[in-house]
Structure 1
Amino acid sequence: MSQKNQFAYRSSKTIGLVNTNENYTKPAEFEEANEPARVSCYSPNGKFFAYASGSVVVIVDAESGKTLRVLPAGNIYELGFSPLGNFLGTWERPGKEADGNPKQNMKVWNTNTGDLIFSFVQRNQTGWNLQYTVDEKLAARLVTNEIHFYETANLGKPPVFKLRVEGLSDFALSPGRNHVVAVFVPERKGAPASVRTYSIPNFTRPLSQKTFFKADKVQFKWNALGTSLLVLTQTDVDKSNKNYYGETNLYLLGITGQFDCRVDLDREGPIHDVAWNSNSKEFGIVYGYMPAKTSIFDSRANVIHNFPLAPRNTLLFSPNSRYIMLAGFGNLQGSIDVFDRLNHMKKIATVEASNCTFCEFSPDSQFLLTAVTSPRLRVDNSIKIWHITGAPMFYEESVELYQAFWRPSLLNVALMEEDSQSFSSLPSAPKAHESASKLAAKPTVKPTGAYRPPGARGQASTFSYRREELDVLSSNSTSKSQATPRQRVVPGAAPVVDKNNKKNKTNGQKVAPEPPTEVSDEKKIRSLCKKLRAIDDLKARLEKNEKLEATQVKKVESEGKVLEELKALGWNSNA
């Protein structure tokens, strides 16, 4: 029996499940929460849905909507299921018990019985949950310089294996059937950073390893089969001052140890996004200063396709591996392009989803869900669903929408890929919900200018940034080139005098430099630009679903006021 397409949403007032192929109605047995939920999630296999509300955590059968378990867990900020849904982890903020001892704020529950089976102190919210092997036989957690491995049949008992690596800061278990773990050690006392993979529990010698400099932190990206690993490295600061978010590099490792390399990119600038195709045979990268370049690579890091330059920073492969989605979110305009791999990468649709903060393919690869959520944006919060051909299917506005996401699929990815290869024609769009007419009538937002990285805003363009801007604004370049050249002005610096214009052409008199801008205005501009950069940094953290303090959220909301003050002082973001 095929699984129903379903999505969940969570707002300040309610939480809900919606079956899209049943005229967008909720499951018959689902009871909406009487109080707002703080967090919610599906199990990776799509079997369960859970949400934290008040003093309890509710576990629901996703298919029917029936409540299965109510766990006595309050003040929960994070939820996470194991791969098969047999275990649920909950995290609350660290604190102390009545006796003064640290609170065991990380707990693991058995979803079949509702019993609490494991608890410990977990201070960091980043990487808070246990990691599981795909068969759920082992679970792992990071402690100082060690990874502890537990048998899930005996959670709560001492670990059965320990991997000790001096300076260890991060790890990731492979999603494949072979039990493999990747570990990261940052640069230390002049020694390079390193990534190593080990077969569990054979820790005497790594399967593969790669050393490199310029890596303060990493993102591990395994392919679905667990046979290859992409390592995206990042520094906190780019010493060349070209990228506000630091310098990024990408490395590819095979778990057999017979192949590893740095992925060479032919365009200067940051790596915006990296994603594996669900078939595990290829991956894509969006990289370079805007307009960015997108390339598809095979499993040996050879380029097999290049897309045209475009202001894009997000890449997704569909679950059946047939479609590729490229989009520009965040500081970009929200345009989404969908391409068909079975038809020579032909573009099949363009969707305008302005202010979008979340986008995801449906499990059957036939639809896209886009959402505008709080606290990134507190206005125009909404859920939109589009057919793969670009046809609008569903639209619903919401007050303070926090989450909207598809139910994961139970289907085998390999079978889905085989099915996608059996036909070449695009599927036709089904009948849309009546709300789609509102979505179709909404005006699209057109780009108003070139993307500028946060670190370059409020300053004159360097040559590299100006070159990229001219690529994007080619339609306006002719008229601009005929205009009088603008003088380069840097806040806080004296004006630059044109050496070719030192003398007045009419009388030969030297022209004195123009008086500098008043110091008070310069200081205001510098201060406001600093605030704007801080706001962009916080917005980037929101895009990664990081939790912000209330004062930080207020700072993000003050962006409009800061821009108005800068405009009043004569500042121009495109200067």
Structure 2
Amino acid sequence: MSKIPQFFCRLPKSIELTEGQPKFKPVSNFVSPTSEVRCSAYSSDGKCFVYTQENEVVVCSIDGQQLFTIPNKFVLDFVFSEDGQFLTTWSRPVKANDDSGNWAENVFIYKLDLEKKTVEVIQKYVNKMQSGWKPQFTADGTIFCRKINSSRIDFFKADAAEGNKTLYSLSLDEGKLEEFSLSPGKNPSIAVFIPGSRGNPAYIKVYSLPNLKSAISQKSFFKGESCKFTWNGLGTSLLALVTTAVDASNKSYYGESQLYLMGITGTFDQKINLDKEGPIHDITWSPTSREFAVIYGYMPSSTTFFDSRGNEIHTLPESSRNTIIYSPHAKYILVAGFGNLQGHVEIFDRQKKFSKVAEFKASNTSVCKWAPDGRFILTATTSPRLRVDNCVKIWYLNGTLCYVKNYDVLYNVDWRYQPLTDFPPIHTCRPDKCEVTPDISAVEFLAKKTSISGSTTSGPKGAYRPPHARNRTGAASRSLAEVEAARSGRSSPSSDESHSGESFFSHSRRIPGATPRRTIPGAVPLEKKSKKKRHHKKSVNNEASTGGIDGKTEGTKAAPSERSLVVGGVFSLEEKKTRNLLKKLRSIQKLKAKKERGEFLEKTQELKIETESKVRRDLEALGWKGDKEGST
């Protein structure tokens, strides 16, 4: 057991967004707990803050003042209902204080009244396992349900007087109930998953409350051991991510995963066909409930957007990503690679044809969430995911770092929920410039980072050089072609600047006592072999760049561009040839510029310049129109 981080305890209004400019200040009225804390969180409606102590649960207002306490020993976990009225706690299982030998109730459902500062118990029951104990409430908070056994779900009225009376039950005869999920929205539905066993298929069924006699939508399939349901905000459609622990084709260590889309009306249910092999990393619905996004495939993964009927809308270029989050307004989309990836974050504008707004790097991120106003992003490194560099960072949506707070140990961090009506409309946001002044903590962090690395940005710094060749001039800075030219007696513009054209290798050949190179009678000399390999490699490259034999390209993939990112956009054979020839022409122009500056060129580079006229003729034959000076 360990104390909860102070930042999370001080979170109510510690980063307040009601005035546009965040206030990075601790809540003055909040008193930090002195004993161990197992868990803490804001209510779903953002009206209170709750944390646990050894013998009680403490309820605080958003300004940090303690409202009341709930006597309950050894609470290890709790969850709020969707409307924030009900709090369910799970305590460590203990035997009852009688001679019956039974277990004492360890799950309690409370109804909180913040105005009257009162609490009443709706229901209590026994659940020894710390899984499957959470009840689920409807959006209006009038009904809740919980799993009774492996094939039965009971529904209750969320009222203290009738909290233990069963309204109706859902019994399943097809097999063992593995997962269930109650939908949001005004007309609640419940989805259940039954894994396959003994040659029988797996099932997903959707029932409408309170009519539980027959399913309004169902899907059967094989290869299903576990399932995760994701409803859209209206509760009209759901995504079911079905996985197996073992991949029968032995292609993936993570098993197999399939994605199904189902509607509560039963008019459609389908499997989402993904065009790349590999696991499904993340799925999410847009707050508009009209589209969803999926990140899937082996790295670099693919990110595709679908409408509510499963039709493709747009695909981003492949990259190392595994996280996607819509902003509360559904205008901006955050796509990133966290966990074992490098933490590269990209922000796209959904309303402007997925144009990129900004990108930044948030390394070692284990928590990432949009602020309630849709303008700021919270990233954090928490324990036990990582036990070093625990910190919280706040970013503006254009990538500007606004706030940094370091901790010795940080376990959790979250925003307090606030409705969108508390903030200005999102169309007043200016992503091209930061509307806030970065906190002094962010300024100091960036200054320290710059002093250590010499730059605030990270990336490739050029070609790799071994340690002995760094920060040196002369022979060590010459290319291999220049060394070969000096060895064969050819002149180069750089030969006069470095050891009179002599290289380290040319000196080492004259070391007294050195063993001369041996030759095998009848064998092809090494120089001829190298020349033959270079000639073969050059012919293969030329064939690939011009489309191969008869204009067909085998084993090559076109580089992504704007047209290839649009769903349905296909390159013709002429377009591919034109693109490759333009690439050659640009390379020739660069070589000509080097030659004009007096830089050394290899023989192959000089020969490449001589092919300019042929490349231009081929381009004109394909219908390309450019200026006579080679503008591309």
Separation of aligned partners in 1, 2:134 and 2:50: 15
Partner residue, 1:65: 64
Deviations along 1:168-208, whole A, 9 cap, x unmatched?
Answer: 22110001110211111110221111111111110121111
| From 424, 429, 434, the counterpart of 2:435 | 429
Partner residue, 2:494: none
Partner residue, 1:152: 158
Partner residue, 1:41: 41
* Structure with more strand by fraction: 1
Partner residue, 1:109: 110
In the alignment, structure 1 residue 342 sits paired with structure 2 residue 360: no
In the alignment, structure 1 residue 23 sits paired with structure 2 residue 23: yes
| From 192, 202, 206, the counterpart of 1:193 | 202
In the alignment, structure 1 residue 393 sits paired with structure 2 residue 392: no
Deviations along 1:260-302, whole A, 9 cap, x unmatched?
Answer: 1100101111100000011101000000000000011111111
Partner residue, 2:81: 82
Partner residue, 1:332: 341
Relative to the length of structure 1, the TM-score reads 0.73
Separation of aligned partners in 2, 1:508 and 1:205: 85
Q: Please report how far the alpha carbon of residue 60 of structure 1 lies from its aligned counterpart in structure 2 after TM superposition.
A: 1.4
1:422–1:392 Cα change, 3 Å = closer
Partner residue, 1:306: 315
Deviations along 1:338-358, whole A, 9 cap, x unmatched?
Answer: 111122211111121111101
| From 439, 456, 475, the counterpart of 2:445 | 439
Equivalent positions of 1:494-513 (< 5 A) are: none
Q: Is the 8 A contact 1:69 1:111 kept in 2?
A: no
Separation of aligned partners in 2, 1:226 and 1:340: 25
Q: CA RMSD in A?
A: 2.5
In structure 2, the residue corresponding to 1:435 is in which secondary structure? helix
Q: Is the 8 A contact 2:8 2:414 kept in 1?
A: no
Q: Which amino acid aligns with 1:164?
A: S
In structure 2, the residue corresponding to 1:369 is in which secondary structure? strand
Q: Please report how far the alpha carbon of residue 427 of structure 1 lies from its aligned counterpart in structure 2 after TM superposition.
A: 6.8
1:447–1:169 Cα change, 3 Å = farther
Q: Is the 8 A contact 1:11 1:36 kept in 2?
A: no
Q: Which amino acid aligns with 1:392?
A: L
Partner residue, 1:265: 274
In structure 2, the residue corresponding to 1:305 is in which secondary structure? strand
**What is the total number of aligned residue pairs between the two structures?**
442
Separation of aligned partners in 1, 2:294 and 2:61: 37
1:24–1:121 Cα change, 3 Å = same
1:425–1:391 Cα change, 3 Å = closer
Q: Please report how far the alpha carbon of residue 10 of structure 1 lies from its aligned counterpart in structure 2 after TM superposition.
A: 4.0
1:343–1:425 Cα change, 3 Å = farther
Q: Please report how far the alpha carbon of residue 41 of structure 1 lies from its aligned counterpart in structure 2 after TM superposition.
A: 1.3
In structure 2, the residue corresponding to 1:140 is in which secondary structure? strand
Separation of aligned partners in 1, 2:304 and 2:112: 42
Q: Is the 8 A contact 1:193 1:211 kept in 2?
A: yes
| From 137, 140, 155, the counterpart of 2:142 | 137
Equivalent positions of 1:164-183 (< 5 A) are: 164-166=171-173, 167-183=176-192
Q: Which amino acid aligns with 1:152?
A: A
Separation of aligned partners in 1, 2:378 and 2:4: 15
Q: Is the 8 A contact 2:180 2:191 kept in 1?
A: yes
Q: Please report how far the alpha carbon of residue 419 of structure 1 lies from its aligned counterpart in structure 2 after TM superposition.
A: 4.0
Deviations along 1:20-76, whole A, 9 cap, x unmatched?
Answer: 4463123343222223421111111111211112221111122x2221221112211
Separation of aligned partners in 2, 1:354 and 1:253: 36
1:380–1:193 Cα change, 3 Å = same
Partner residue, 1:538: none
1:120–1:384 Cα change, 3 Å = same
1:446–1:271 Cα change, 3 Å = farther
In structure 2, the residue corresponding to 1:401 is in which secondary structure? coil
Equivalent positions of 1:158-557 (< 5 A) are: 158-166=165-173, 167-411=176-420, 419-420=425-426, 428-441=434-447, 442=449
Separation of aligned partners in 2, 1:423 and 1:437: 23
1:447–1:245 Cα change, 3 Å = farther
1:103–1:438 Cα change, 3 Å = farther
Deviations along 1:398-452, whole A, 9 cap, x unmatched?
Answer: 111000111122346xx98x9446878657431121111133343679589xxxx
Q: Is the 8 A contact 1:14 1:36 kept in 2?
A: no
Percent identical among aligned pairs is: 40
Unaligned runs of 5+ in 2: 461-479, 481-518, 524-632
Q: Which amino acid aligns with 1:91?
A: W
Q: Please report how far the alpha carbon of residue 244 of structure 1 lies from its aligned counterpart in structure 2 after TM superposition.
A: 1.8
In structure 1, the residue corresponding to 2:119 is in which secondary structure? coil
Higher deviation after alignment, 347-356 or 22-31: 22-31
Q: Which amino acid aligns with 2:157?
A: E
Separation of aligned partners in 2, 1:427 and 1:111: 43
Q: Is the 8 A contact 2:398 2:431 kept in 1?
A: no
Q: Please report how far the alpha carbon of residue 11 of structure 1 lies from its aligned counterpart in structure 2 after TM superposition.
A: 1.7
Separation of aligned partners in 2, 1:73 and 1:124: 18
1:13–1:282 Cα change, 3 Å = closer
Q: Is the 8 A contact 1:395 1:438 kept in 2?
A: no
Q: Structure with the greater relative contact order (CA < 8 A, sep ≥ 6): 1 or 2? A: 1
1:14–1:249 Cα change, 3 Å = closer
In structure 1, the residue corresponding to 2:443 is in which secondary structure? helix
1:350–1:390 Cα change, 3 Å = same
1:13–1:307 Cα change, 3 Å = closer
Separation of aligned partners in 1, 2:224 and 2:444: 47
1:178–1:379 Cα change, 3 Å = same
Separation of aligned partners in 2, 1:121 and 1:240: 42
Q: Is the 8 A contact 1:118 1:155 kept in 2?
A: no
Q: Please report how far the alpha carbon of residue 506 of structure 1 lies from its aligned counterpart in structure 2 after TM superposition.
A: 5.3
Please identify the structure whose Cα radius of gyration is greater. 2
Partner residue, 1:93: 92
Higher deviation after alignment, 208-217 or 271-280: 208-217
1:13–1:204 Cα change, 3 Å = closer
Partner residue, 1:557: none
Separation of aligned partners in 2, 1:259 and 1:212: 16
Q: Please report how far the alpha carbon of residue 95 of structure 1 lies from its aligned counterpart in structure 2 after TM superposition.
A: 3.0
Q: Please report how far the alpha carbon of residue 79 of structure 1 lies from its aligned counterpart in structure 2 after TM superposition.
A: 1.3
Separation of aligned partners in 1, 2:408 and 2:7: 8
Separation of aligned partners in 1, 2:309 and 2:345: 28
Separation of aligned partners in 2, 1:93 and 1:181: 29
Partner residue, 2:5: 11
1:508–1:164 Cα change, 3 Å = farther
Q: Which amino acid aligns with 1:437?
A: V
1:379–1:508 Cα change, 3 Å = farther
Separation of aligned partners in 2, 1:87 and 1:185: 29
Separation of aligned partners in 1, 2:443 and 2:156: 53
Q: Is the 8 A contact 1:335 1:351 kept in 2?
A: yes
